[in-house]
Amino acid sequence: ATMVESRDNNTGGHIKRTKAYVTLMLNKMRGDSCYRRVLSRDYITHVINAAPLHDVGKIATPDSILQKPGKLTDEEYAIMKRHAADGGKIIQQTFRDLDDADFRQIAYEVARFHHEKYNGKGYPDGLKGNEIPIEAQVVALADVYDALTSERCYKKAFSHEKAVQMIQNGECGAFNPLLLQCLTDTQDELNEKLHPQMQEKQEKE
């Protein structure tokens, strides 16, 4: 996961922050009656450990696309989108001899389905609603939040408040309403976990 991140022109720390956000949200969700039976201690541990692998498929994405500073063309975006399916295949091939079948399945689902959307307009399979495994839904929300609040080669960083507003307004695709409520409930703690340079920038502004 670290090797993939070193190729992706991010400011660094994306996988660590995403893992931290996933941990925060899962622990919050465990207190919700809707998820209490699903979110066992082992399950939460597996999802937290699988979260850094969500973009592992980008190892197969050309540098010219992965590091492009401007907007991708339709053709380039179609190639970029392959990283989800590629990631699922890589997990299956790499972990096929792993004894822990539960972790292997969760890691696969996180990698393949973290770009699916609650309204069925995501990729690669166009899954809708609860057809999307909950672990992939949580990682997707954490991934989008960090993408918004981080500076990338093609965009400036948004403030925490703006990022939350954009997600809640549906500007970043459709998410499970229960997860959006979880985002609202944990937003103060999320803000505290922003990388130091973002906090300093917000204080100066």
Active site residues: 58
CA distances (Å), origin 50, targets 12, 13, 19, 45, 77: 18, 16, 9, 9, 25
Q: Is 13 exposed, middle or buried (0-12, 13-18, 19+ CB in 10 A)?
A: middle
Q: What is the DSSP letter of 132?
A: S
Return d(Cα 26, Cα 43) in angstroms, integer: 10
The residue to which tokens 């082992």 are assigned:
42
Is the CB of residue 122 less than 8 Å from the CB of residue 116? yes
